[in-house]
Amino acid sequence: MSKLFNPKLFSLLKAGIDKKQISNDVMAGIVVGIVALPLAIAFAVASGVSPDKGLITAIVAGLLISFLGGSRVQIGGPTGAFIVIVYGIVETHGVGGLIISTIMAGVLLVIFGCLKLGTLLKYFPHPLIVGFTSGIALVIFSTQIKDAFGLDIDKVPSDFLAKWELYFTQIHTLNTTALILTVATILISVYSKKITSKIPGSFIAIIAITVAVQLFDLPVTTIESFFGEIPTTISISFPAIEWANLSQYIAPAITIALLGAIESLLSAVVADGMIGGNHRSNTELIAQGIANIVTPFFGGIPATGAIARTATNIKNGGRSPIAGIVHALTLLLIMLFFGKWAKLIPMSCLAGVLIVVSYNMSEWRVFRSILKSSGFDILVLLTTFFLTVLVDLTIAIEVGVVLSAVLFMKRMADKGEQIQKDVNVDLIEDYSDLPKDISVYEISGPFFFASAKQYAQLIQQIGLKSKTIVIRMRHVPFIDATGFHNFKAVINSLQNSNVKIILSGVNESVLMDMEKYNLISKIGEDHIFDSFNHALDYARATYN
């Protein structure tokens, strides 16, 4: 069990953390706590629940995820990805149904971790992840139009198209003041970093806009208009569970668990790339599960790893779970002593914050780059995107995974004869006469979503032990978007460590795709060879 559940904090404390790092972690935690404040409130309001539930989630779940998690730097709490799901559950089953669904999702996450399913993230193709992330971003954006424009609408429908149809029919109720405040919030959030990078733009925007509304008595709705007073205490309550109706919460629970697992592990992988670390995926899933089991008893909503807050933690010097714990304690102190003023925040200001969040989530540059890749990746991307927006996130993921598998089998069938021919004439090579600082790694077979992570890890491990690595690609019939995503990351890592990368045997179609992903210019045309012998000659000639 110790191998299955081994929190990073315990390992780091056992090994010892120096005082300077603890100091850095405390400062990073305070900054992340300030960053998380407006986001926690905004995510809760957009999800159809009261603002205090977002704060409670960031405090309780954030503390547990950092204390028990498998990542050094993961910051947990409510995220934008859950807005659509939570809103739908609350609309259908009420807040009580959300609590039960979240607890059941937590149990599922613990089971995922105990079954060692943490490594399955590598089987989710990159176009699928980008597709549903971009889809969620568009849905979040669409939910904020009412408050951003101050439209006089009592209830916004959950259906995407119906929502926009209603917006257009009610555009005559536009509140110009609300729109100006929304635009001001966006501008402050985006451009305040040019003045100071220490204080997050969203925090500055909320303080400035709220003060302006109160000073000038501006005619806009606030959190108080919708939710009344905001509780500034945390208490435990037990939900009333009707065991006979438990089956109706299974589908929502599975959706929360799946998305929570994907988001948390994706965030942990991104964090690993930023700090050169290695998270414990199964431990992370168990910690996420425990957090989602416990948090609802305090009135919280679903939580997972937050990529943006985790990145903020890293950029501010956080390198241990202490930063995440401090982030939760910072939020607790803010809630206890300053929470009573949160009710004054204008809804249009929160809409502006969430519009910025949805833009950052959209990954439009990555989305655009995948549209330039193979037809298979484009099909997975667009299918997942449109299903997320127009149908349902769970269906989008399920269809995306099945479609990816079917298209991969089709692609392999098309390339099967060529691969077999190449492998039949293959000879075992002897690299023993190479200088010790020149390594060779051969990729055999497609560099696709199921193998991409493993290939990338091996290339990095071998490359970091050398000054030059020659990567043979004669048996690589194609590289999909996930492969290019991982390949690009490992090339960046090796080049940052001053490792020279040389490619050999790259076929014409792969070269064309590499051009689309700007990898040829990154590696250097003079480092790519048709012949392995020519690649070795170049490696020896430039060997220092």
- Are 359 and 490 members of one domain? no
**Range 139-167 average pLDDT:** 90
Domain holding 324, by residue range, is 19-149+161-407
Please indicate, yes or no, if residue 333 is contained in any of the structural domains: yes
**Range 330-344 average pLDDT:** 88
pLDDT at 2: 57
- Are 201 and 300 members of one domain? yes
**Range 462-489 average pLDDT:** 87
pLDDT at 411: 66
Residue 420: pLDDT band with limits 50, 70, 90: very low
Higher pLDDT, 123 or 8: 8
- Are 245 and 200 members of one domain? yes
Quick check: 243 and 249 in contact, CB under 8 A? no
**Range 174-198 average pLDDT:** 90
pLDDT at 119: 73
- Are 479 and 389 members of one domain? no
- Residues 67, 63: Cα–Cα separation, whole Å: 6
- Are 374 and 463 members of one domain? no
What are the tokens at 459? 């290339």
Residue 483: pLDDT band with limits 50, 70, 90: confident
Q: What share of the chain is helix, strand, coil (3-state, %, to 5)?
A: 70, 5, 25
Quick check: 110 and 290 in contact, CB under 8 A? yes
- Are 519 and 402 members of one domain? no
Q: Mean pLDDT over all residues of the chain? A: 87
- Residues 234, 50: Cα–Cα separation, whole Å: 14
pLDDT digits (tens, 9 = 90+) for 38-61: 889 999 998 989 899 999 999 999
Please indicate, yes or no, if residue 51 is contained in any of the structural domains: yes
**Range 392-402 average pLDDT:** 80
Quick check: 478 and 509 in contact, CB under 8 A? yes
Q: At 458, which CATH number?
A: 3.30.750.24
- Are 495 and 396 members of one domain? no
Quick check: 54 and 43 in contact, CB under 8 A? yes
- Range with lowest mean pLDDT among 40-44, 259-263, 453-457, 479-483: 453-457
Residue 432: pLDDT band with limits 50, 70, 90: low
CA count, 13 A, side-chain hemisphere, 377: 25
Residue 430: pLDDT band with limits 50, 70, 90: low
Please indicate, yes or no, if residue 422 is contained in any of the structural domains: no
pLDDT at 195: 83
**Range 431-437 average pLDDT:** 76
Please indicate, yes or no, if residue 454 is contained in any of the structural domains: yes
Give the DSSP per-residue string, 184-226.
Answer: HHHHHHHHGGGT-SSS-HHHHHHHHHHHHHHHHT-S--BHHHH
Of 392, 407, 422, at which residue does a domain stop?
Answer: 407
341: pLDDT strictly greater than 50 = yes
Nearest partner of 508 among 468, 479, 485, 482, judged by Cα: 479
pLDDT at 123: 65
pLDDT at 419: 46
Rounded percentage of the chain residues whose pLDDT exceeds 70: 93
pLDDT at 282: 93
**Range 356-372 average pLDDT:** 88
- Are 322 and 446 members of one domain? no
Residues 292, 296, 302, 307: is their CA dihedral positive or negative? negative
- Are 360 and 474 members of one domain? no
Other Cβ atoms within 10 Å of 171 Cβ, number = 11
pLDDT at 421: 47
Residue 424: pLDDT band with limits 50, 70, 90: very low
What are the tokens at 302? 């679903």
Quick check: 180 and 220 in contact, CB under 8 A? no
21: pLDDT strictly greater than 50 = yes
426: pLDDT strictly greater than 50 = no
pLDDT digits (tens, 9 = 90+) for 237-276: 887 777 778 889 998 999 899 889 988 988 887 788 778 7
- Are 269 and 399 members of one domain? yes
Residue type, 50: S
Please indicate, yes or no, if residue 225 is contained in any of the structural domains: yes
422: pLDDT strictly greater than 60 = no
Please indicate, yes or no, if residue 166 is contained in any of the structural domains: yes
325: pLDDT strictly greater than 60 = yes
pLDDT digits (tens, 9 = 90+) for 202-227: 889 999 999 999 999 999 999 888 77
If one counts the domains in the chain, the total is: 2
Please indicate, yes or no, if residue 461 is contained in any of the structural domains: yes
pLDDT digits (tens, 9 = 90+) for 101-135: 999 999 999 999 999 888 766 567 888 888 888 98
- Are 469 and 390 members of one domain? no
Of 356, 384, 407, at which residue does a domain stop?
Answer: 407
What are the backbone dihedrals phi and psi of residue 479, each rounded to the nearest 5 degrees, phi first? -125, 125
140: pLDDT strictly greater than 60 = yes
- Are 178 and 81 members of one domain? yes
pLDDT at 44: 92
Instruction: Say which residues have a Cβ less than 8 Å from residue 427's Cβ, sequence separation at least 6.
Output: none
pLDDT at 518: 87
Please indicate, yes or no, if residue 26 is contained in any of the structural domains: yes
- Residues 288, 67: Cα–Cα separation, whole Å: 11
